[in-house]
Amino acid sequence: MQLRRIEIRDFRKLGHVVVDGLEDGLNVIVGDNEAGKSTVLAALRAALFERHRISGDVANAMLPYNQAVRPEIAIDFEVAGLAWRLRKAFCQKPEAELRGPGERYLNDDAEERLATLLGFTHPGRGGSKPEEHQGIYGLCWVDQGAAHRSLGVGAGRESVASALESEVGQMVGGERGRALLAKAEGRRNAAWTQTGRPRGILKGLQDEVASLGAERDGLRSRLAGLHEKVEKLGAVHAAIERIEREERLPRAVAALEKARADASRVDEMRAACAQAGAEARRTERERDNAAERSAARQALVAKATRAKAELAEAERVAEQARTMSAGRDGAVRLAYKRLAVARAAHAAAVDEAAATEAALGRRRDLESLRGLEAQLALAEAAERRRRAAAARAANISITKAQVADLERIEAECARARYQLEAASVRIEFRPEGSAVVAVDGLPHPAESELLLTRDASLHLRGFGTLTVRPGGGVEALAHAAERLEAAFAEALRAVRAESVAAAADALRARDDATRDADAERKAVEAAAPRGLDPLRDETDRLRSSVGQPLPPDVSDRLATATPSVLADRRRVVTEARDAVRGIESDVEDLRTVRDQAATEAATLVERAAAARRDYEAGLRELAEVRAQSTDDELATQVAEAVAFLATALEVETETRAAADSVDTGSELLLQKAERAERSVREDLERQRQAQRELEVELRTLGRDGFGEQLAEVEGKLERVRLQAEAKEREGSAARLLHETLLEAQRESKDRWLGPVRERVRPYLRLIQPDTEVVLNEDTLELTGFVRGGHQEPFTALSVGAREQVAVITRLALAEILLGSGKPSAVILDDALVNTDEGRLERMHLVLHRAARNLQILVLTCRERDFAQSGATIRRMA
Output 304 or 784, whichever has higher pLDDT.
784
Q: Residue 665: pLDDT above 80?
A: no
3-state SS record for 88-118: EECCCCCEEEEEECCEEEEHHHHHHHHHHHH
In 502-554, where do the E strands start and end? Answer: none
Output 846 or 182, whichever has higher pLDDT.
846
In 412-509, where do the E strands start and end? Answer: 425-427, 437-439, 442-444, 450-452, 456-460, 464-468
Query: Maximum CA pair distance of the chain?
Result: 200
In this prediction, residue 664 has a pLDDT band, given cuts at 50, 70 and 90, of: low
The 3-state DSSP class for residue 134 equals coil
pLDDT digits (tens, 9 = 90+) for 614-637: 777 777 777 777 777 777 777 777
Per-residue pLDDT, averaged over 36-49, amounts to 89
pLDDT digits (tens, 9 = 90+) for 217-262: 876 777 677 677 777 777 878 877 777 777 777 787 787 777 777 7
The 3-state DSSP class for residue 12 equals coil
Alpha-carbon distance values, 821 to 103, 815, 852, 853 (Å): 22, 10, 16, 12
pLDDT digits (tens, 9 = 90+) for 325-338: 777 777 777 878 88
Amino acid identity of residue 421, one-letter, is: E
Alpha carbons within 13 angstroms on the beta-carbon side of residue 365 total 18
In this prediction, residue 172 has a pLDDT band, given cuts at 50, 70 and 90, of: very low
Quote the CA–CA distance of 811 and 579 in Å, as a whole number.
121
Per-residue model confidence (pLDDT) at position 751:
63
Per-residue model confidence (pLDDT) at position 98:
93
pLDDT digits (tens, 9 = 90+) for 105-130: 999 999 999 988 988 888 878 888 87
Per-residue model confidence (pLDDT) at position 171:
45
Q: H or E element: which one contains 14?
A: strand 14-19
Q: Is 472:423 a contact under the CB 8 Å cutoff?
A: yes
Q: Residue 173: pLDDT above 50?
A: no
Per-residue pLDDT, averaged over 821-840, amounts to 83
3-state SS record for 371-425: HHHHHHHHHHHHHHHHHHHHHHHHHCCCCHHHHHHHHHHHHHHHHHHHHHHHHCE
Per-residue pLDDT, averaged over 271-295, amounts to 74
Quote the CA–CA distance of 154 and 825 in Å, as a whole number.
18
Q: Is 37 exposed, middle or buried (0-12, 13-18, 19+ CB in 10 A)?
A: buried
| Burial track 786-803 (b if 16+ CB lie within 10 A, e otherwise) | eeeeeeeebeebeebbbb
In this prediction, residue 877 has a pLDDT band, given cuts at 50, 70 and 90, of: low
Per-residue pLDDT, averaged over 90-97, amounts to 92
Look up residue 452 and give its DSSP letter: E
The 3-state DSSP class for residue 473 equals coil
Per-residue pLDDT, averaged over 22-49, amounts to 88
In this prediction, residue 750 has a pLDDT band, given cuts at 50, 70 and 90, of: low
Alpha carbons within 13 angstroms on the beta-carbon side of residue 675 total 6
Quote the CA–CA distance of 820 and 470 in Å, as a whole number.
115
Q: Is 565 exposed, middle or buried (0-12, 13-18, 19+ CB in 10 A)?
A: middle
Output 525 or 425, whichever has higher pLDDT.
525
pLDDT digits (tens, 9 = 90+) for 579-592: 888 888 887 887 78
Q: What is the CA radius of gyration of the chain?
A: 71
**How many other C-beta atoms are found inside a 10 Å radius of the C-beta of residue 740?**
11
Q: Is 755:813 a contact under the CB 8 Å cutoff?
A: no
Per-residue model confidence (pLDDT) at position 400:
86
In this prediction, residue 521 has a pLDDT band, given cuts at 50, 70 and 90, of: confident
Residue 9: CB partners within 8 Å, gap ≥ 6? Answer: 15, 16, 70, 71, 72, 73
Quote the CA–CA distance of 258 and 673 in Å, as a whole number.
9
| Burial track 711-731 (b if 16+ CB lie within 10 A, e otherwise) | eebeeebeebbeebeebbeeb
Q: Which of 65-74, 502-511, 587-596 has the lowest mean pLDDT?
A: 587-596
If you count them, how many residues does the chain have? 877
Q: Residue 155: pLDDT above 80?
A: no
Per-residue model confidence (pLDDT) at position 790:
87
Question: Smallest Cα–Cα separation from 721: which of 210, 197, 41, 348?
Answer: 210
Question: Smallest Cα–Cα separation from 757: which of 780, 739, 741, 737?
Answer: 780
pLDDT digits (tens, 9 = 90+) for 446-477: 667 776 767 777 777 667 777 777 766 677 87
Q: Residue 496: pLDDT above 80?
A: yes
Question: Taking all residues of the chain, what is their mean pLDDT, rounded to a whole number?
Answer: 79
Per-residue model confidence (pLDDT) at position 659:
64
Most confident option among 149-158, 314-323, 521-530, 544-553:
521-530
Look up residue 147 and give its DSSP letter: T
Q: Is 804:812 a contact under the CB 8 Å cutoff?
A: no
Measure the CA dihedral 827/833/835/841, to 10°: 60
In this prediction, residue 5 has a pLDDT band, given cuts at 50, 70 and 90, of: very high
For 166, phi and psi rounded to 5 degrees?
A: -65, -20
pTM for the structure as a whole? 0.40
Per-residue model confidence (pLDDT) at position 152:
75
